[in-house]
Chain A
Amino acid sequence: MTTPSRRPPLRHAMAWLALLPMAATVLWVYVGSVAWSLRVSLSSSRTLPIADFVGLRQYERLFDSERWTTSLRNMALFGALFIVGCLVLGLLLAVFIDRRVKGEGLLRTVFLYPYAMSFVATGLVWQWLLNPELGLQSTVRGWGLAGFNFDWIVRQDMVMVAIAIAAVWQASGLVMALLLAGLRGVDDSLWMAARIDGIPPWRVYASIVLPQLGPSFATAFVLLAVGVVKVFDVVVAMTQGGPGLASEVPAKFIIDNLFVRANIGLASAASSVLLLTVLALLAPWLYARGRAARRDARRLAPGQAQARPDMPGAPRRPAAGAGGA
């Protein structure tokens, strides 16, 4: 009577039991903390959480604060420089290694190595390199080029660029590794066909290979974007937010208010704003992916129930499978 295809309910129960700790963690620790922060951000809490309700006063104060608006601007600038810089440099490195250069293993390690270092160590080293009295500038001047100027790290208008340079140096190796994996996944027959047709390699990359790297780019982008929102340690190590307020970032604002300035209400308001910013950026993207997934599902034969993707990442797989079949 019982057919083996029917799953015994107990298996489900075991699966749920196994998932329970994680689910509880997510609910209590993550969602719970978010709800708690939102609540605190609506109170007048200073050193300790207070259960009163002051409406949006902390948010008003937040956006009155010049330091906070500067922080948001700096984060946007840093984000643009950092993400574009990493993607471009990482892609160039990946392509360079993909050309089967000699000593590939060594180079790959060398390029990926900075990522194994913490942002704090990176920041400290770059802080010395960029320091006008100790680093590059004084060294080059010592060689006789008296007019050489490289003092970005102490300049109001260029300090975020200096920080982005250090961050790009650190993270582009990771992008290289991700894109290299994507490049290696490109079918060799494409390359052979291109060679027969006499297409120059750069053209093959630009028109054939790169368009296939979408998922790799998306992964790299998400990882880098997360790094931008939480950027903190590299700034603390390099400039401590200075000179003046020129390199303040939101995460530092939050930490300072949370621990130094005994102002957890304001800090919670700031982190809520940060969370909303991330959600506002993510929502259109999730929505677009969701729509694309539904469209793909509809386009595939409606009878193939098992092909319906459950996850936003799934739709590519049926397409690839169709190509292979």
Chain B
Amino acid sequence: MTQAAITPPPLPAPRPAPARPGRRAAGLTLELLALALLALAGAAPAPALAQANRAEVIHWWTSGGESAAVKELAKAYTAAGGTWVDAAIAGGEQARSTAINRMVGGTPPTAAQFNTSRQFLDLIDSGMLNDVDAVAAHEGWDKLLPASILGAIRVKGHYYAVPVDIHMPAWFWYSKAAFAKAGIAAEPKTVDEFFAALDKLKAVGLVPLAFGGQPWQEKIAFYAWLAHAGGPEMYLRLYRDKDAAMVQGAPFKAFLASFKRLKNYVDAGSPNRNWNDATAMVISGKAGVQIMGDWAKGEFAAAHQSAGKDFGCFPGFGPHSPYLVAGDVFVFPKTADPAQRKSQQLMATVFTEPATQDAFSNSKGTIPISTDVDVQALDPCAQIGVAIMKDAARQLPSPEMLVSPDLEGALQDVVTKFWNTNESVDDAARAIAAALKS
């Protein structure tokens, strides 16, 4: 006997039915809603288990060597009695915008990675960062840290970030095999010697300059060339003084022409080549030189090549060449929670300890923030870097420490256009001057 077989009662005629199921459904919906709300309320922030000095850290160190390096930071922090909550986000831009969004949204992380730069200046201006003045005073950062780094983290007398490493964004990496094949006896000591070396490489059918034609790599080549061929003074007058008159002058135009001359030594496949593909050209000996940051070391290491034997590195031409300084820092978002504040102070202390610095630098391939470290543990290129860092006169802050991300981007647009088109030196100089004024 199924339900369908039962005949419905013929009388009385039912009142219009639609309303009733509707109302019942409405009641049911409301009940469900209420239940759901209750469930939510139940699940809502039950006070988390009290973890000692819990610190959530946003960073973008996700590649092999990088994550090994960040583990050293976490290890040191844990050893100091903290609880490290790792929030790795691939890609610097993504990581930074996540950190900023969370600060704006009111649930900031304990610490967030930025470059040693002006990327976090707006955050300081709008009062969203805690300072670490107490730690800086206690540890004597003024004496410990190089001036270029201090210039980036000290704003109006307050310390807003803890530096963790020093990058050199524009080394010259060269293949020993390629140099031997081209008959280049020694590392070039001047701009002219460098061009002569490139000519020799070209003559034996190699790609003289392994070049990745992406705007950010063109930018690196540009400011490296500005520092070495134009000289530190011209470099600072552009990036520090934003001197629009200087860039319209003859010396700067001569530098622009010299920069463009490098284009004669790249191959047709360079546009949009990734930096590591360009490094691979040096590793295989197909190309002679690459201008790239110290992160390229990881590529050589992965190919089982060692510095001094298979490849060489020099930071510029001659014993007095400028040395570009960049790096990474952590900033500490403002928080009302005193426990968080304590975690932030602890982090700032732990990150700058020599033992932490040594372990971190070795994994990361960077050099430590202070120069009184054991250089024996470092690779030959890093040893050159540490030695130079002792000489304050040779240090040049990287452009991102001197100009806003906005202006840096505008300059990058000018450089990439100049490099890739037949734009005249005069037009390029005018475009740079316009970017400086905007």
Contacts and interface: CB of A to CB of B under 8 A. Distances in A.
Contact of A8 (B18, B93, B94, B126): B18
A14 B16 contact: no
Q: How large is the interface on A (under 10, 10 to 19, 20 to 34, 35 or more residues)?
A: 35 or more
Interface stretch (A75-83, A100-108, A255-263): A255-263
Name the residue in A156, A238, A239, A262 with the highest tally of chain B Cβ atoms < 10 Å from its Cβ.
A262
Contacts of A244: 416-417, 419-421
Nearest to A260: B93
Contact of B100 (A11, A47, A261): A47
A47 B122 contact: yes
Contact of B438 (A14, A17, A64, A241): A64
Contacts of A46: 122, 404, 406
A245 B416 contact: yes
A133 interface: yes
Given A4-B16, A48-B100, A132-B269, A66 B413 contact: yes
A131 interface: yes
Given A154-B271, A242-B272, A244-B421, A262 B438 contact: no
A10 B22 CA distance: 7
A289 interface: no
Interface string A255-277: 01111111100100000000000
What's the dominant secondary structure at chain B's contact region?
A: helix
Given A47-B123, A48-B100, A261 B405 contact: yes
B248 to A, nearest CB: 18
A153 interface: yes
B377 interface: no
A81 B76 CA distance: 57
Contacts of B413: 65-67, 245
A119 to B, nearest CB: 16
Interface of A: 2, 4, 8, 10-11, 13-14, 17, 46-48, 61, 64-67, 127, 131-134, 151, 153-154, 156, 238-246, 256-263, 266
Interface in B399-425: 404-406, 408-410, 413, 416-417, 419-421
A133 B409 contact: no
Interface string B249-264: 0000000000000000
Nearest to A50: B126
Contacts of B268: 132-133, 151, 154
Name the residue in B100, B128, B272, B417 with the highest tally of chain A Cβ atoms < 10 Å from its Cβ.
B272
Given A151-B268, A242-B214, A242-B272, A2 B416 contact: no
A133 B420 contact: no
